[in-house]
Amino acid sequence: MGDLEAFRAEVRSWLEDNCPEEMRQPLASDQDHVWGGRQWEFSSDGQRVWFERMVEKGWTAPAWPIEYGGGGMTPAEHDVFKSEMKRINARSPVSNFGFWMLGPALLKFGSEEQKREHLPAIARGEIRWCQGYSEPNAGSDLASLKTSAEIDGDYFVVNGRKIWTSYADRADKMFCLVRTDPDAKKQAGISFILLDMESQGVSTRPIQLISGESPFCETFFDDVRVPRANLVGELNQGWTIAKYLLTHERDNIGGEPPGLLKGRDLAKMALEAIGADEAGRLDDPMLRADIARLEIDAMAFRALVEHTRAKAEAGEGVGARSAMLKYYGTELNKRRYNLMMDAMGGQGLEWEGERTSGGRYAREWLRSKGNSIEGGTSEIMLGIISSAVLELPKG
Amino acid sequence: MILNEEQQMLADLAERIFADKASVDTLRAIRGGSHGNDYDQDLWQAMVESGLTGILVPEDQGGMEFGLVSAGLVAREVGRRLALTPFLSTAVLGAIAIGRGGNDDQKSRWLGPIASGELIVALALDESAKHRPERVATQATAAGDGYTVTGQKTLVLDAANAGVFIVSAMLDGTPRLFAVEIGAGTVDVEPVVSLDTRSMADVRFDAAQAELLDGDDNTLDAVLDAGRAMLAMELVGLSRAVFERTLTYLSERKQFGQRIGSFQALQHRAAHLSVEIEISEAMAFQALAAFDSGADDASQQILAAKARAAETARLASAEGVQMHGGMGMTDEFDIGFFMKRARAASELFGDANFCTERFARAKGY
């Protein structure tokens, strides 16, 4: 038995012993997602037990180094771990922007002190992070952001306004792009700082979406004082980190669809909702064809994701090609939700009520429309592909 | 999947040979020839010399005994260069039908000559306009030690030059594969001039002497899988080539005082197409690898690969013609040849609709 197989056996048996049965069910609603943080309250004992055991085991951030609170797994071990989690449908014990975004940024750009201060706190689920990037006038054109951070002794004084800050009203801290040199051209005057949401002068206002939910906020900064030690990387070099994270974010896309379609077979849902003809085929030939086309495209897309991962592991940079994955993956997800709504028919029209856990079909379908907007719109992705991959002439 | 060292060397070899030997000029010359049912003999000779004709033939029969991924690397070059070659009919379909279905005697008679380039094999499956491999009216009848087959086949590739036909025919209610050697006297080949200048024919078998290929029950399935897989790779190569030409044109052609590739309306379409091509190629390689490793869902993956590659090639060639503007409509420009071949290669062994429908069926809905 190879080392990896021994590792797999160890992971499997530990998960079998420690993952509560109820944590092996698909998420029924957003409440089932453990975000962590100072204000977090578990909605069930199972959730709490699973969280505590994984934190103690050090497996909440499996691939981070052990000295920063991670699991210290090699990429190959991490793959084994993920496949074993998936095998029993285990839910993530805790996750938020600290795991997805800030952690990778600090590992690459943070000082030793910053790593020791922030990474273990993320891994233990103590601090919930949010992301402060977009502004009302800086969406697709992110580098035109205006929120200012002026240096005053050992502090930055931050003024301005961010939008689409996810769960800013419930987050403990924010990583944030601010303008530290108003005279420099666009990208050149931006810095990447960390701030506490409890600081004087920070206020948030939730934004209600077409899904009826409010995962995003506007965040206002009014003379907020942030220690200069909270600058990540060099002053005015924040765009490098932002770009790295945007690429990293795009890389993360292409896994399983989130929400109620996670681990569920669209064709099966359609068969249950619509029924089959006497030959056993979905009794809606046009929808059947659409689902088959979608499934083929999804299978092919996964093949490209796998191929890209394998190349990255072999040391070949992914770079702008991540825009390809972001573009196609999000468009695919929107198609998937459209077909889910076609399959669910009248049930999909419910907005409230227990039968649909509070209108989840309709709400998640509507939420999916944002996939091709957030993290860079599809049109921005196509622009990146045109210039950086295809090298077409500039307009 | 990522190519291993052996596969990468093969990819480089295939690229070199095809870049050197195959060109659209050859296709034009053959199109202008007398019977329009020829193939590129120089290229075939070069493929023989480098062993590519024996790529799937076992080593003890003089071949390289590689897998479908390796054969796919050659098929991709066939697509890129619009090569007129019996590679699919003979080196892939012939080698697999005989290699899997043949007995020792049949293998030793035909596999060696396939590898050495002396024998062209033609596969005769379809009987109607659309690919329906299980709808077979051709009948096999026991006769003496062997059989005779009678029936009418269409879309038979490389029939005009074939020494052996592999024919599907009904035996006791199930379709089986038979081999018919030319010279049996009762095979009537009627060449068809096709839009893509490929050697194609209607073939009538009239009580032709036939040998049953009774080695492996799944031979027909393997042949269908391999055919679709190779066409998927060919279509991926074709899409890449037509897209490269289109990108060059976008970067050179000026209108309104600017290079047209600077227009966002065209940039976004080109970018979208590039993503479609990447995805179709990744799918095709994964499907071929699944076949080689004997994965349970290899057939499904191949159906997915063929469906996608056909759609991608249709888009690539349509965008190619459109973005070349009026020049794309001329016979003088090569773009139209890609569109023609995309149409034909998509149709063979089941078009995108066929493959998608079979995919759904295999998935149980």
Domains of chain B: 5-115 (1.10.540.10), 121-212 (2.40.110.10), 219-362 (1.20.140.10)
B267 vs A270, A300, A382: nearest CB: A382
CB contact under 8 A, B1 and A394: no
Tokens representing residue A133 in the block = 């990037």
Say if residue B89's pLDDT is above 90.
Answer: yes
Q: In which residue ranges of chain A is CATH 2.40.110.10 found? A: 129-238
Domain with CATH 1.10.540 in chain A: 3-95
What is the structure's pLDDT at B35?
59
CATH topology of domain A129-238: Butyryl-CoA Dehydrogenase, subunit A; domain 2 (2.40.110)
- Distance from the Cα of B33 to chain A's closest Cα (Å) equals 38
**Res B91: pLDDT:** 98
Contact B283 A299 (CB under 8 A): yes
Lowest model confidence (mean pLDDT) among A145-154, A243-252, B45-54, B248-257 = A243-252
- Shortest CB distance from B250 goes to which of A301, A327, A392? A392
CB-nearest to A382 from B268, B285, B353 is: B268
Residue from B130, B81, B300, B358 nearest A300 by CA: B300
**A303/B283 Cβ within 8 A:** yes
Contact B156, B201 (CB under 8 A): yes
B343, B348, B350, B356: CA torsion to nearest 10: -40
Q: State residue A253's pLDDT score.
A: 55
Instruction: Look at A395 and B305 and tell me if their CB atoms are within 8 Å.
Output: no
Decide if B93 contacts B227 (C-beta within 8 A): yes
- Inspect the interface and report whether the beta carbons of A297 and B308 lie closer than 8 Å: yes
Phi, psi of B324 (to 5 degrees): -80, -5
Structure tokens at B274: 């590039």
**Contact B164/B94 with Cβ under 8 angstroms?**
yes
Contact B280 A300 (CB under 8 A): yes
Nearest CA in chain B to A389: B271
Query: How far is the alpha carbon of B357 from chain A, nearest alpha carbon, in Å?
Result: 7
Q: Which positions in chain A touch B2 (Cβ < 8 Å)?
A: 307, 310-311, 314
Distance between B260 CA and the closest CA of chain A, angstroms: 8
pLDDT at A346: 93
Nearest CA to CA, how far is A272 from chain B (Å)?
A: 11
Consecutive H or E run containing B186: none
Q: What would the mean pLDDT of B335-344 be, rounded to a whole number?
A: 97
Contact residues, chain B, for A321 at CB < 8 Å: 278
- Under an 8 A CB cutoff, do B268 and A386 touch? yes
From the CB of residue A19, how many other CB atoms can be counted at a distance below 10 Å? 22
Average pLDDT over residues B19-26: 92
Please check the confidence at residue B270 and state whether its pLDDT lies above 60: yes
Return d(Cα A64, Cα A70) in angstroms, integer. 4
Using CB atoms, which residue from A292, A299, A383 is nearest to B360? A292
- Which residue matches tokens 């997915």? B304
Q: What is the pLDDT of residue A185?
A: 86
Q: Does A339 touch chain B (CB under 8 A)?
A: no
Asked if the Cβ–Cβ distance from B286 to A390 is below 8 Å, we say no
Residue corresponding to tokens 């109820």:
A22
C-alpha torsion angle, residues B321, B322, B326, B331 (rounded to 10): 10
- Chain A residue at shortest CA distance from B300: A296
Is the Cα dihedral B276, B278, B279, B285 positive or negative?
positive
Q: Is B246 on the interface with A (CB under 8 A)?
A: no
CA atoms within 13 A on the CB side of A239: 16
Nearest CB partner across the interface for B275, out of A289, A306, A328: A328
Interface test with A, best of B267, B280, B299, B312 (most A CBs within 10 A): B267
Q: What percent of chain B has pLDDT over 90?
A: 92
DSSP code string of A45-57:
HHHHHHHHHHHHH
Catalytic (active site) residue A198: no
Q: Is the pLDDT of residue B37 over 80?
A: no
**Cβ-defined contact of A393 to B282 (cutoff 8 Å):** no
Phi-psi region of A236 (alpha: psi -120 to 50; beta: other; left: phi over 0): left
Give residues 179 to 238 of A whose Cβ lies within 8 Å of B.
none
Q: Which residues of chain A does CATH 1.20.140.10 include?
A: 253-389
Partners of residue A392 in chain B, C-beta under 8 Å: 247, 250-251, 261-262, 267, 270
Percent of chain B having pLDDT more than 70?
Answer: 98
Nearest CA in chain B to A271: B365
Interface list for B 123-162 with A (CB within 8 A): none
* pLDDT tens for the 395 residues of chain A, in order: 578 999 999 999 999 999 999 999 877 776 788 999 999 999 899 999 999 999 999 999 999 999 999 999 998 899 899 999 989 999 999 999 999 899 999 999 999 999 999 999 999 999 999 999 999 999 989 999 999 999 999 999 999 999 999 899 999 999 999 999 999 888 899 999 999 999 999 999 999 999 998 889 999 999 999 999 999 999 999 999 998 887 776 655 555 566 777 778 899 999 999 999 999 999 999 999 999 999 999 999 999 999 998 888 787 777 788 899 999 999 999 999 999 999 999 999 999 998 888 899 999 999 999 999 988 899 999 999 999 999 999 87
Q: What does the DSSP assignment read for A166-235?
A: ETTTT-SEEEEEEES-TTS-GGGGEEEEEEETTSTTEEEEEE--TTS---EEEEEEEEEEEEGGGEESST
Q: What's the pLDDT tens digit per position in B72-85?
A: 999 999 999 999 99
Asked if residues B214 and B260 have their Cβ atoms less than 8 Å apart, the reply is no
Convert the pLDDT of each residue in B108-139 to its tens digit: 999 999 999 999 999 999 999 999 999 999 99
Q: How far apart are the first and last CA of chain A?
A: 58
Q: Are B43 and B22 in contact (CB under 8 A)?
A: yes
CB contact (8 A) between residue B268 and residue A379: yes
Distance separating alpha carbons of residues A18 and A113, to the nearest angstrom: 33
Q: What is the separation, in whole angstroms, between the first and last Cα of chain B?
A: 29
pLDDT of residue B280: 98
CB B163 within 8 Å of CB B120: yes
Structure ipTM: 0.95
Dist CA A275 CA B4 (whole Å): 46
Cα maximum dimension of chain A: 78
Per-residue pLDDT band for B186 (boundaries 50, 70, 90) equals confident
Contact B271 A390 (CB under 8 A): yes
CA separation for the pair B199, B26 (Å, rounded)? 14
What is the model's pLDDT at position A112? 97
Correct CATH for A253-389 of 3.30.43.10, 3.40.50.2020, 1.10.10.10, 1.20.140.10: 1.20.140.10
Residue A250: per-residue pLDDT: 63
| Predicted pLDDT of residue A361 | 93
Least Cα separation, residue A340 to chain B (angstroms) = 15
- What DSSP state is assigned to residue A283? S
CB-defined contacts A:B, below 8 A: 127
Backbone angles phi, psi at B217, to 5 degrees: -60, -30
**Burial track B305-316 (b if 16+ CB lie within 10 A, e otherwise):** bbbbbbbbbbbb
The CA-CA-CA angle for residues A369, A373, A378, to 5°, reads: 105
- CB count within 10 Å of CB A31 equals 12
Q: Within 13 Å, how many C-alpha atoms sit on residue A274's CB side?
A: 26
Name the burial class of residue B264, with classes exposed (0-12), middle (13-18) and buried (19+) by CB atoms within 10 angstroms of its CB.
middle
Question: Among candidates A243, A259, A262, which has minimal Cα distance to A251?
Answer: A243
Question: Buried b / exposed e across A64-95, counting CB within 10 Å, b at 16+?
Answer: beeebbbbbbeeebebbbeebbeeeebbebbb
Determine the Cα–Cα distance for residues A164 and A144; give it in Å rounded to an integer: 16
* pLDDT of residue B53 exceeding 80: yes
Please pick, among A249, A256, A278, A379, the residue that the annotation labels catalytic. Answer: A249
- Of B32, B83, B348, the residue nearest B200 (C-alpha): B348
Cβ-nearest to A327 among B275, B363, B365: B275
Question: Distance from B261 to chain A by nearest Cα, in Å?
Answer: 6
Question: Tell me, which fold does domain A3-95 have in CATH?
Answer: Butyryl-Coa Dehydrogenase, subunit A; domain 1 (1.10.540)
H or E stretch at A384: helix A378-384
CB-CB contact of A102 with A123 (8 Å)? no
For A379, the closest chain B residue by CA position comes to: B268
| A392:B359 CB<8 A | no
